[in-house]
Every structure is written in C-alpha cells, then in structure tokens.
Amino acid sequence: MKLKSILTSALAAYLLSSCGQTVKTDQTDFNNCWTFHLVKDTANFNTDYSKTDNETKNWENVRLPHTANIEPLVVNNQWQGICWYRKTFNISDYSKEKKYFIEFEGAMNIIDIWINNKHIKRDMGGYLPVTADITNHVRAKENTICVRLDNRDNPITGPKPLKILDFNMYGGLYREVNFIEKNNIYISNPSLVDIEAGGGVFITYPYVDAKMSEVKIQTHIINEGAKDKKATLKHIIRKGNEVVKEFSIDINLPNGKEGVTSCNTVSINNPSLWSPANPSLYTLQTIISDESGKEIDSQTNRFGIRKFEFKDNQLYINGEKTYLRGVNRHQEYPYIGYALSDNAQYRDAYKIKKAGFDYVRLSHYPHSPAFMDACDELGLIVVDAILGWQYYADNDEFRNQCYRSAKQLIRRDRNHPCVLAWEVSLNETKMPIEFMEVLDNIVHKEYPGENVYSCGWMPQVYDIYFQARQHRILHKDEMKFDKPYIVSEYGDWEYYSNNAGLNQHKMPKNMRVEYSSRQFRKDGEERMLRQARNVQEAHNDNMNIPATGDGYWVMFDYNRGYHDDIEASGVMDIFRIPKFAYYFYSSQRDITNDSDCILKIASYWDKNSPTDIKVYSNAEEVELRLNGRLIGRQKPDNDKNSTNLKHPPFTFKIDEFEKGELKATAFNKGEKIKEESVFTPEPPVKLDCEIDISGKELEAGCNDVAFLYISAIDRNGTVNPEYTKSINIILPDGIELMNKDEVKAEAGIATAVIRIDEERGSKKIFVNDGEISGEIDICIK
C-alpha cells in the first residue's frame, strides 16, 4: 500500500531472479513474479508443493494482489479450497547483521509459509496482516518462499459456513506483500512483539484544543546486536513540507529482543484539527541514529489531531456536535473478489464521501490498510470491526482467536485518525457477557486513555450501542439504555422482511420485491424510486430517536454465499453506478460553494415514467420546466418523511407525459446556481466510454483495477435505459479484461473490469455492439 508506515533505510534491496527484476532499496514491493496453483480436487490432493524440488512449470505467473479464482458476476458457488503461491528471490546485500521480515497484508484464510523448505509460520483469520521474522531462514543465494492457503469454512475463525453466510470470503493473496530489511537496531513491528499498547510507533493526543494540542509519541526500539548500544532518537513532525516540531533524545539500548520504549509528549500551537470537514494530516518521521550520527532505521507515520467525545450521549468532534450520516461497506469487486488494488480501495472511499456520507462501518471484518488511509485523507469516520457474523463457538480456540484479532486490529489501525470506535463484537450473534467483557477490556488496554470507544450490537458492556433499525422496530424494549447509540444498519431488512412498521402493512410475500430496497438499476424507475423512498423514510425516522449517527445498509451491491443472487440494496450497484437513492444522500450535504450544489432529476422521462417528478437537491428552491413551459418553482417537500431532513427532495406533479426536455434549475438566495436537463431517450447512436477515476488516475505496476463504463447514448447524449446489448471490447496490450461473463448492458450501461499491467503511457480502447461503436483514449501513469 502507498501510505502505510514507510520503512526507509530499513527496506530491502533484493533481486527477483525468477523474472530478472531488480527492486530498489526505497520500496517494499514484493508483489511481482509469483507463481500460482489452484488445487482442483482438494479432497484427493496430497502433493506437498512446499518442497522446492517439486515441479511447478505449469503454474500460472501472477502479480499481487491476486484472487484465487475469477468468479462470475453472480456468485452462486464461490470457490473454496487450497491454493499455492511460490516465489524465488535473491537478497543482493545479504548480511548476518541484518533482520528480514515478510508481511502479508491479506491472505485468506489459513496461511502456511515455508522458506527454503522449512515451515516457519501458520496463521489464520484472513483479514489482518501476517508478519514473519525470516532472518534465520534466508541466505545470500537464491531463496524460495512457498505459501499454502486454505479458505474453506473454519470453525476457529468463523463466521458461519459459506453456504449460509451473508457475504463471501474470497481466496488468494488478495492484498500486498512486503519484504522488509532492517539493521539489527530497529523500530519494532507491533504485531510481532505482542506488547499491550506497545510496539512500533503509537501516537495519541492527551490534550486537544484549537489553540494548543499535545501529541504523545511512543516508540519501541529493539537492539538485536551483540552488545548494548547508545543511539539517538529523532522525531520530526511536518504539516505538508513545513517542519512543525523537531526534537532528539539520547537512548540506551541493551541488547536483546525485549527492546526499549521511549515516550515523548510535545505541544503544537494552533494545530489544524482533523475532522470530516477538514481531514488535516500531519507526518511524523522517526529516525534512529548510532553514536556516529549514521541513520540506522526510520519510519514515517501519518496522523491527525482530533478529539471524539460524547456529551449526553451525543458525539462531539473537536467540541462540535456532529451527527454521523453513514453507510456500511463490503470490500468486494465483481469477478476479482477481494483483490482490489490500493487505488481501487481509494476510489471506493472517494465514492462514499461523494455520496454525502461522513462515516463508514467496515462490515463485518477488517478492511484494507489502503482503505483506512483513504478514509484519513478524505475525512470518513470509521467503525473498525473484527470478523464476526451470526456465529459463536463455545470453546477456547474460537474465543482466543477473537481476542487475538481484536488486539491485532487495534495495533494495525490505532494511528488512523478516522477510527471512532472498535467493533469488537460478533455481529448479530448471541455472545456471553464474559466474552464481551474481555473484548471491551482489550480495547481499553490496547488503547489506554480517554475518548476511546468499543462498540457492539448488544446493549450490554460496550461503550457504544450499535443497533440495526429492524431490531429496534421488533425489540423496542432494548432502547432502555444510557449510552451513546448509533443505528448500525437500516433501510434494507426492515423493508425486505416487511416489518418496517411505518409506511407499509403486512403484505403478501409476492409483493416483497416491489416494496423492498433491494432494487437493481435494470428494474426501472419505479423500483429505484421505491428504494429511495424507503431510505428517506428510514433516515428521517432515525432522527426521531436519540441516535448520534446511522449507517445505511449498504453502499455497494454485493454477492453472498447463502443466496443465488446479488444483494441489491446498495445505493450504487456492484459496478459502482449510482441508483436514485445515491442522490438522496448526496443532497443531504450542505452547500458551502456553488460547486457543492446537488441537482438530480430522478426520472428517465419516457412514456412509462411516473409523472410525479422527484428532484434531489440541497438548494433552497428548484424550478422545473417541461419543454420550456414552467411546471413550478418551489421549496422542498414538507411531508411526514421529511420532518428531520436537512434537505428534503422536491416533488413536481405533471398532468401527463409529453416527450422532450425536463429542465431543473436550482436557486440559493434567489440566484441561479445550477441546471440539469433530462431528455426523453431516443435510439442510441453511439457508445460513450468513461474510465472510473474517482480521485486516482490509472497506474501501472501495481495491478490497478478500474471500471470501464460503456453507455449507449442518443443524439442528445442521453443514455437509453432500454439498451441491453452485449459489447465487444478491443483492448490494447497491457490491459486485461477481468469479466468472466459477457460484457452486457444493464439499463443502458455496460461495465468492464480492466486490469493494468506494467506499461505506462497513452492507450486507446475500442468498443462496438455490431451496429454502433465508440472509443476512448486513456493515460496510464
């Protein structure tokens, strides 16, 4: 990942002899030149590929991140089983006086690691880093690392078996792998040293105020040399390129693996405080030098100074009362499962922020470090979760796995300013009180001090009560508590299961689809408007209770193990294309300048369209015209489902359909600030192509993946929602199509998932359906 702790002088210099690639000393990338083998018949497989003399000539050459299996769009039978990875490498400056580590950011689920035929580590869990000290197992000449993964159902890690699971757990080395070289005096890795509230660099904020704030820096340093040493520890705090604070201290380092912890607190005058509206970040550079002044290790961490506190159970960020409008997220992409590039992770976070959300719940497992970095940058508050969903095993192996995961999660993410709370709870699972008490204690022991919060879906024990709206409707007695409260999920299940209790009565099951929030774009305007009405009603209702935030279920459509279709309650589909509900949420953000105005006509305006026109906007007034004729200029709606909304939608009534142009104009303080038009769709004449950038340009050399949107447009540039043809795509060398199925349009837009290889520069993509065509020039940096 790009913005993790940067290990400068400690990074490896190594030659990947299997592909002739030389990796320089200023990077950790260990992602190239792996070979991969998927075991087809796991039950009858007994070959031990950990032995370097076993034949692997038919293995596939891959670059990480990598998914074990390319799945179809609708995943009815996700692959589970055993797969193998292997890589050879040389360490060009090998020394017995140095330390060598390998770090896997994500490997599903049980991982076994061999170095040069020797088994060195087994781990499990799938979502948190696995780091191994390989110092005593590598050599100057060629080395071979072999990895065996097993993502079959696991009773120790949980959750429920895939066949009854509401999400998928895709296999592979699906995040980055880092090779780390250090001198024998070094800043430790918190996941390896296993020190409570310790290890590595730990940054906290004992006092936060706009005039002056304190930053506490705790650094753990190990001396594995033969003798005790003296060294200098230097900290440099920067805001951009400006040095804000710089100081050094002398330290004594006795030899041994226990290490020494240095704690230092500094004050920063007039700090720029981190918040969703102002995601201001500082950089801490930590440098260790020997007695001669030579730098022997360094590390860079980003941090943001902020204070989360609750007063009368309401959230205050840096003293300002804040309601968190949020959403839940699953981390999968179509076809490639979890194997997103770091850039793709950023693009997801960018979309969440653009959709009007300031908070995201990471459901129901730890997400990528790259996604956490993006949340820091963009100002997205995070609730960070351990793995858990409707599963508890009453044995010590399972409980200890949960305890260990909670510790490792906090040690990985504790320096991220975006983290509000730690969801050390097994979602929708009946848990013993004693179990919850241990998890809650882990949070406060691993992150001691004030303004640190655990949260869970049961009202007992945890600092913050996380309750889904459907549970609140069915179990009103659970509202009797005195603690901060966040609506963890809403807007989906209560409508899907017909227990919303508000705008719908019990109805026949065959009407469930029509009234559900689970609507595909292909289902048409009426269905997408139904979803948008549901989420408006539910979000409005959430503000009738003493909640300090809510999280809609869910941001993106996703696959799940227990059902044979895609779960479609997302405000964007699985390809990240918006539905009408997206614009409801984006319109809830206030306008700070004219470019922030949201104006969306939620209509295709064809002969089958509703004649009650919904317009989503955060403007004070909206005017609607049909073919130049004024339909009305009005304030936002004032109905029972808009009473608590910052910016209710606008509803205009038109007597009958008339082909042509609907034009909306937004006004603030009487001044026109934005216009939007919708034209009745005509037959398509062109395929219009667009690459989804979402804040990150396409990048070579990192297995970057992105969406190519292909829209069938008419002479007015209007997408024709009736268009459903298959698309032929002609890609240049260096770009790979990841779709396992044909690329077929849904509601006028077809989507290809493309992967970028090592080649930079300008390229051209051509598309056609046999009758109309299109092309796009793209630039890969």
Residue 378 is encoded by which pair of tokens? Answer: 């963009």
Closest CA relative to residue 35, chosen from 14, 15, 61, 8: 61
pLDDT of the residue at 56: 84
Predicted confidence (pLDDT) per residue in 328-387, tens digit? 999 999 999 999 999 999 999 999 999 999 999 999 999 999 999 999 999 999 999 999
CATH 3.20.20.80 assigned to domain 323-564? The reply is yes
Q: 59 versus 6: which is more confidently predicted?
A: 59
CA distance 524 to 527: 6
Homologous superfamily of the 6-183 domain (CATH): Galactose-binding domain-like (2.60.120.260)
Joined together, the tokens standing for residue 776 give 């796009």
- Whose structure tokens read 């918190």? 190
The architecture that CATH gives domain 594-679 is Sandwich (2.60)
* pLDDT tens column, 496-522: 865 544 334 455 666 778 889 999 999
DSSP state of 670: T
At a CB cut-off of 8 Å and minimum separation 6, what does 669 contact?
A: 620
Contacts of 629 (CB under 8 A, 6+ apart): none
Number of separate helices (H) and strands (E) present in the chain: 10, 45
Q: Do domains 6-183 and 190-303 have the same CATH topology?
A: no
555 within 8 A of 347, measured Cβ to Cβ: no
Q: Which two tokens stand for residue 123?
A: 């781990």
Lowest mean pLDDT among 12-21, 68-77, 139-148, 327-336: 12-21
Per-residue pLDDT band for 11 (boundaries 50, 70, 90) equals: very low
Rg of the chain taking only CA atoms, in angstroms = 27
Confidence bin at 4 (pLDDT 50/70/90): very low
How is the chain split among helix, strand and coil, in percent rounded to 5? 15, 35, 45
For residue 264, what are its two tokens?
A: 């230092």
Closest C-alpha among 111, 263, 250, 256 to residue 198: 263
Partners of 183 in beta bridges: 98
pLDDT at 690 over 90: yes
* Alpha helices, DSSP H, located in 117-162: none
Residue 14 has pLDDT above 70, yes or no: no
What is the per-residue DSSP string for 1-43?
A: --SS-EE-TTB--EEETTTTEEEPTT--B--SSEEEEE-S-GG
Q: CA-CA-CA-CA torsion for 666, 669, 673, 674, nearest 10 degrees?
A: -10
Please report, for the chain, the start and end positions of each structural domain, with discontinuous segments joined by +: 6-183, 190-303, 323-564, 594-679, 686-780
Angle of the 342-354 helix axis to the 369-378 helix axis, nearest 10: 40
Among 42-46, 133-137, 602-606, 742-746, the minimum mean pLDDT is found in 42-46
| Mean pLDDT, rounded, for 116-132 | 98
What does CATH list as the number for 190-303? Answer: 2.60.40.10
Give residue 25's pLDDT band: very low, low, confident or very high (50, 70, 90): very low
Going by CATH, does the domain composed of 686-780 fall within 2.60.40.10? Answer: yes
| pLDDT at residue 660, as a whole number | 99
pLDDT digits (tens, 9 = 90+) for 551-565: 999 999 999 999 999
- Residue entry with tokens 């009473």: 643
Q: Please, which pLDDT band fits residue 52 given cuts at 50, 70 and 90? A: confident
Condensed to tens digits (0 to 9), the pLDDT of residues 464-502 reads 999 999 988 876 665 678 999 999 999 999 998 655 443
